[in-house]
Structure 1
Amino acid sequence: MKVLIFGASGMVGSGVLRECLAAQDVESVRSISRTPVNIQHAKLEQLTRPDFAAQPSTLDDDDLRNVDACFFCLGVTAAGLTEEQYTKMTQTLTLSVAQRLCQLNPEATFVYVSGAGADSTENSSTMWARVRGVTENGLLRLPFKRVHILRPAVIQPLHGAVSKTRSYRIFYSLVGPLLTVLRRAFPEKILSTEIIGQAMLSIARSGAADSVLESAHIYRLARHEKPAIG
């Protein structure tokens, strides 16, 4: 399996990258990010594209072609952003990349990391939830082999994964030990970056019963507690 990861330098993306590199059935991993990942591995091809988030058209077709699965882990917090800014960095970027990727790899599986609370009706009074919902719906309309949306809630970074958002880094530094205890007590509500990576690989291999997956379903997929479907 050939995997393409967007956002491997971020917290969730780095966890997904780790699981992909460890998986025996993953032949190669291509990472596209604005900043390089501090990892060297025989499977890993790093493509640093500093401007692609602002100008997705700067990606070459060769950056995107010949992949079996794409894990789209890019995301920004809506704090301090206008709806126009957040839409451009979330909806516009994601759909622009996904549309081109679908043209080049229609038999690929596309997995998008959204967030708990995203609104599929597109009518929420909460700006970020509405924009995420519009993004999800746009992705689900694309004719990939499979499209699945992950909506994790609380995520614990493991194995050196670090958030790029300062407020999140402070939060994790303060509650890290407590979060470990809570995750063990409530594993279907508090996910780890490891679990998310394992669930995404499970989806790439054999799909999932639902297109939109909340935390509990993500956990069960990672733990193979619920059968997937093709």
Structure 2
Amino acid sequence: MNVLIFGATGMVGQGVLRECLAAPDVAMVKTIGRTPTGQRNLKLRELVHADMWDYDTIDEELTGFDACFFCIGSSSAGMDEKKYTRLTYDLTLAAARKLAGLNPEMVFIYVSGFGADSTEKSRVMWERVRGKTENALRALRFKSVYIFRPGMIQPLDGIKSKTASYRIFYTLTKPILPLLRKALPNLILTTVQVGQAMLNAVRRGAPMPVLESPDIVELSRPQKT
């Protein structure tokens, strides 16, 4: 399969990229972002693209893909709804609408967040905006759209978040996260599990369009023979 990854320099995106590059059935991975990943691999193609709201001049770069893993996400801290909507809904839909026109047989996977509100009526601003984004994606004409709503994710393999507050959090909790995962294996994911679940959703589909943490854990497991 040929895979497109948005947000491959973020914590989740780094994990997804790593799993894709290691997967024997992934022939090519193309990353799109404002900065290069710094990775080197024969499978990897990188597209540095400054305007993440405009793709009208790069149709050829976005054609011929079986899957898109959209891992761009912004914290809503300090933002009003207008700004957060631009960085979440507008940015995501600009890419997704272009891809739906170019790759109608694509599987599109969007990393949302635990608590996103698909009714769009929550009193919490980010929950409404995420839910609105999810609903708009599911209305597009892809082969399949899957929404991932992970909660806490443990970064593995030396992966680090780009967000300073998250880096501090993961540094402080590093000694206890493995213990918490043993105690709550269906609630605390790893970057490996998220990447494997995305690949498996393309390989064999997922049982439902919106997947919470326990569903992602189950989907990350190898298929039973």
Question: Please, what TM-score do these two structures have when normalized by structure 1?
Answer: 0.95
Structure 2 partner of 1:38: 38
How do 1:97-116 and structure 2 match up within 5 A? 97-116=95-114
- Report Cα offsets for 1:66-106 as digits up to 9, x if no partner: 10000000001000111111000000010111011000000
SS of the residue aligned with 1:56? Answer: coil
1:127 to 125, 128, 140: 125
Partner Cα distance (1:188, 1:26) in 2: 27
Matched, 1:75 2:67: no
Residue type of the alignment partner of 1:214: E
Partner Cα distance (2:185, 2:220) in 1: 11
SS of the residue aligned with 1:89? Answer: helix
Question: Please, what TM-score do these two structures have when normalized by structure 2?
Answer: 0.97
Q: Is the 8 A contact 1:52 1:58 kept in 2?
A: no
Structure 2 partner of 1:190: 188
Structure 2 partner of 1:62: 60
- Counting aligned pairs with the same residue, the percent is 55
2:164 to 146, 163, 166: 166
Q: Is the 8 A contact 2:55 2:98 kept in 1?
A: no
Q: Unaligned 5+ residue runs, structure 2?
A: none
Structure 2 partner of 1:14: 14
Structure 2 partner of 1:150: 148
- Report Cα offsets for 1:87-144 as digits up to 9, x if no partner: 0000001011101100000001000000000000000000000000000000000110
The CA deviation at 1:63 is 2.2
RMSD over aligned CA atoms reads: 1.4
SS of the residue aligned with 1:5? Answer: strand
SS of the residue aligned with 2:74? Answer: coil
Partner Cα distance (1:52, 1:59) in 2: 11
SS of the residue aligned with 2:174? Answer: helix
Q: Is the 8 A contact 2:120 2:129 kept in 1?
A: yes
The CA deviation at 1:162 is 1.2
The CA deviation at 1:225 is 6.9
Q: Is the 8 A contact 2:156 2:192 kept in 1?
A: yes
Partner Cα distance (1:17, 1:206) in 2: 19
Partner Cα distance (1:110, 1:48) in 2: 21
Structure 1 partner of 2:2: 2
Structure 2 partner of 1:52: 51
How do 1:82-101 and structure 2 match up within 5 A? 82-101=80-99
Distance 1:208-1:59 versus aligned 2 partners, 3 A rule: farther
Partner Cα distance (1:196, 1:104) in 2: 26
Residue type of the alignment partner of 1:182: L
Partner Cα distance (1:106, 1:28) in 2: 19
The CA deviation at 1:199 is 0.1
Could you list the structure 1 runs, at least 4 aligned residues long, displaced by more than 3 angstroms after superposition. 224-227
SS of the residue aligned with 1:177? Answer: coil
Residue type of the alignment partner of 2:18: R
Residue type of the alignment partner of 1:122: E
Q: Unaligned 5+ residue runs, structure 1?
A: none
